[in-house]
Structure 1
């Protein structure tokens, strides 16, 4: 007779064997990929982390469209420019849903823009785009805000008089103040206690995203909810952002509605007032809170991290920095206000900005999408509800699209005559219906901030420092290891 413990072990083994064969049968419905294990899926193949190079290595064996399993959830990976482009743009509406994994569901509960799906997502995104346009996106008035913040950043570096500094905070502060002015109607000072709390919360969220514990939470949410750990800190950090957003909404309500809305919250509150008599209001405070969080997170972290990489690349490639400065000096006056339109006269500088985005590749995979109906992707039939993930890194490093994909090379964006040359495989903002709604603002910020900094300073390592780490830290975005540089006035 078997003891109770022996019977339990036999039962577990039996259940694992049954699960294994069920998985093998389920695999036949999806594109081929590495064989998954019960409970863990392909986490062992991924070494319990979502690494861009490992995803590209798996494509060499399984093709540019393959399946990875996270527990019992299959995820279709698109690899390389052609697969990502065709997969995201051939039937863009079909793959416009958003995967509500347990952790993201706990964060945003399907509200806002980034983590929403269906009719609600369409409404919030459409309103967000229309409102940002009404507030000047793509127009001179918004460009003036960017120029103002770039000027403040130059003044900050000038005040250091060449002393070493980690530029992470000043970059984040200046970039986020652009979106803060749009959303809240005011700027934060660099010493503002609340602003530092928001930065800390943002860093915690992006550090947690993509980590092993994040994957474990999505695999075993019922267990992780009962356990302490970094997931609790990440959820608490999102609450910090949400609480601040609610405080700002109350401040706007108490101030009263004006005939001329001054910021995004004003526009949204006016829309809430219009729709309140409907059977089911299209706009409510919960959605506004999550839209504010989306705009703050998306409008701060990505552009500031890209510039953080950009200054690092200039230190590592002083010849590139010198060429940018020579072009700026030849085309622009020393006190001339730099406009986004100037990029047409500055092909090399524009190429460098694009190469910084390509090579830093800060969002190495797109946020997972979901098929909202039965569809066909690259000739393979997929059912409604199937999760699809575009591997953006594989596009920006595609050897069939880039001459030297693993090297920082501005010539990727220049023709033989030295003119700027757009590239179809340049997709840092993703593609299809889920393309970044703040793309134009981000492009404007990156060009104006970068050009202003390079015109005013030469960036170099502190005295005695000869090496600098250019490997990324993996998280919600790929960030450089912290570094210090000297901004030497020119």
Structure 2
């Protein structure tokens, strides 16, 4: 009897929680975005496929529309699915949606103190400071382009020294991209075999432990946003975001190009025509190289590196379309729904540079190209990343032809899905001098 009574109480509690969750979703003073019925404690987790979460959310968008609600455990999330709603939120109502969502993984990585995860006035001050400082150090100017060209030369020579042996280029690319950030922050690059440099790359996460031993220049100013902790974390953000995303994009791009040798041939013909073999690629070349530019854009579109975007929150009670979204609600502006839009990009699952080319072969811009997000929280290093991807990739293909280990038809370019990002599958490739 006691066991039966305990079971009955447990069932009543579960039913009560379910009814409360349902009531909560329909009772507010204004209509909130619709969504599937939630279960106590787990929310909608059992209704979603964690390994194909994008597909699960795509199905829900077809049922509930472009603005809908899900619960990951007890955490309420409003999902924005499709170009129109993502643009309306991140650009048209940029201020309302400018908060940063608080996921445990992001909190563990970034500690909520740098420009990636901070909020409010702290975030505004740090972002303004970071952008101003980066510009002062050459971002967006000829000087930073020259640093990238110099690093591309070192990267090419390092690849040449592999003597056509197959290898995974991941570390080479990480080191090259990291050296650009090093040249900005420290004023100089590092040799690829420098032990200090290798330690820096390997132990970026350990930086947080060292911060406690540094004296704060603004000690006693309890209201300052420019503490050693926030500035150190902002610097770490630059390394993590500025190194990881760009190097992974390049690594994934080289994997894709192995599968399509005919695309590599077209790029190299364009390189030979516009640049030749004797000088370094520069950003001024891009306007004369529409096919190469289209391939670079298609790489970023196809890999869909951050399908869910970095989560946002609304910073106040917000009216969005016909819905009411309470302050601090987490928002998933789904970049994958924009980059994989079949109306803008026919057959979006296929890698096709034609997505960014007009019928006459000129480059075609697209408002749907949002790999760096959009609005107030757009990636602070977008301009730097664009320069790095174009110059590094062009320099590599100017000097080498790719020779895959596998037959190009057997190369798998589908992503390895992680909690936040799409990653390229491991591979080795040989670089044959041209």
| Same fold at TM > 0.5 | yes
Structure 2 CA distance for aligned equivalents of residues 464 and 109 of structure 1: 44
Question: Could you tell me which of 319, 323, 334 is aligned with 1:391?
Answer: 334
* 1:331 matched to 2:274: yes
Deviations 1:376-403 (A, max 9, x none): 2233221211111111011000112112
| Cross-structure match for 1:380 | 323
Distance 1:288 1:324, change over 3 A: same
Structure 1 CA distance for aligned equivalents of residues 212 and 381 of structure 2: 23
* 1:486 matched to 2:434: no
Structure 1 CA distance for aligned equivalents of residues 406 and 51 of structure 2: 37
Question: Could you tell me which of 16, 33, 53 is aligned with 2:14?
Answer: 16
Distance 1:310 1:102, change over 3 A: closer
- 1:206-355 superposed matches below 5 A: 238=205, 240-243=206-209, 280-355=223-298
Structure 1 CA distance for aligned equivalents of residues 364 and 409 of structure 2: 34
Deviation at residue 8 of structure 1 after TM alignment? 3.5
Q: TM-score normalized by structure 1?
A: 0.83
Structure 2 CA distance for aligned equivalents of residues 459 and 313 of structure 1: 11
Structure 2 CA distance for aligned equivalents of residues 246 and 415 of structure 1: 55
Q: TM-score normalized by structure 2?
A: 0.93
Extract unaligned runs of 5+ from structure 1: 203-237, 254-271
Deviations 1:128-147 (A, max 9, x none): 01111111111011111111
Q: Secondary structure at the match of 2:365?
A: coil
Deviations 1:242-267 (A, max 9, x none): 246778xx6xx9xxxxxxxxxxxxxx
| Cross-structure match for 1:94 | 96
Deviations 1:201-254 (A, max 9, x none): 67xxxxxxxxxxxxxxxxxxxxxxxxxxxxxxxxxxx3x13246778xx6xx9x
Deviation at residue 200 of structure 1 after TM alignment? 4.8
* 1:437 matched to 2:383: no
Distance 1:244 1:323, change over 3 A: farther
Answer whether contact 1:468 1:483 (CA < 8 A) is retained.
Answer: no
Structure 1 CA distance for aligned equivalents of residues 113 and 357 of structure 2: 42
Q: Secondary structure at the match of 2:267?
A: helix
Deviation at residue 342 of structure 1 after TM alignment? 1.1
| Cross-structure match for 2:170 | 168
Question: Could you tell me which of 117, 120, 134 is aligned with 1:118?
Answer: 120
Distance 1:245 1:190, change over 3 A: farther
Deviation at residue 56 of structure 1 after TM alignment? 1.7
Deviation at residue 187 of structure 1 after TM alignment? 3.0
Question: Could you tell me which of 292, 299, 304 is aligned with 1:361?
Answer: 304
Structure 2 CA distance for aligned equivalents of residues 156 and 124 of structure 1: 36
Question: Could you tell me which of 401, 408, 424 is aligned with 2:351?
Answer: 408
| Cross-structure match for 1:46 | 48
| Cross-structure match for 1:26 | 24
Answer whether contact 2:140 2:384 (CA < 8 A) is retained.
Answer: yes
Answer whether contact 2:257 2:263 (CA < 8 A) is retained.
Answer: yes
Q: Secondary structure at the match of 1:308?
A: helix
Question: Could you tell me which of 390, 393, 398 is aligned with 1:447?
Answer: 390
Structure 1 CA distance for aligned equivalents of residues 37 and 119 of structure 2: 30
| Cross-structure match for 1:262 | none
Question: Could you tell me which of 408, 421, 426 is aligned with 1:477?
Answer: 421
Extract unaligned runs of 5+ from structure 2: none
Structure 1 CA distance for aligned equivalents of residues 151 and 210 of structure 2: 22
Q: Secondary structure at the match of 1:75?
A: strand
Quote the RMSD (CA, aligned, Å): 2.2
Distance 1:131 1:457, change over 3 A: same
Distance 1:343 1:437, change over 3 A: same
Number of residue-to-residue matches in the alignment? 429
Distance 1:194 1:379, change over 3 A: farther
Distance 1:340 1:276, change over 3 A: farther
Structure 2 CA distance for aligned equivalents of residues 64 and 11 of structure 1: 39
Structure 2 CA distance for aligned equivalents of residues 324 and 187 of structure 1: 29
Structure 1 CA distance for aligned equivalents of residues 177 and 268 of structure 2: 22
Structure 2 CA distance for aligned equivalents of residues 6 and 462 of structure 1: 64
Q: Secondary structure at the match of 2:58?
A: helix
* 1:127 matched to 2:164: no
Structure 2 CA distance for aligned equivalents of residues 48 and 337 of structure 1: 44
Structure 2 CA distance for aligned equivalents of residues 246 and 429 of structure 1: 32
Deviations 1:389-438 (A, max 9, x none): 11101100011211231111111111122111110100001011000000
| Cross-structure match for 2:82 | 80
Structure 1 CA distance for aligned equivalents of residues 5 and 383 of structure 2: 63
Distance 1:105 1:462, change over 3 A: closer
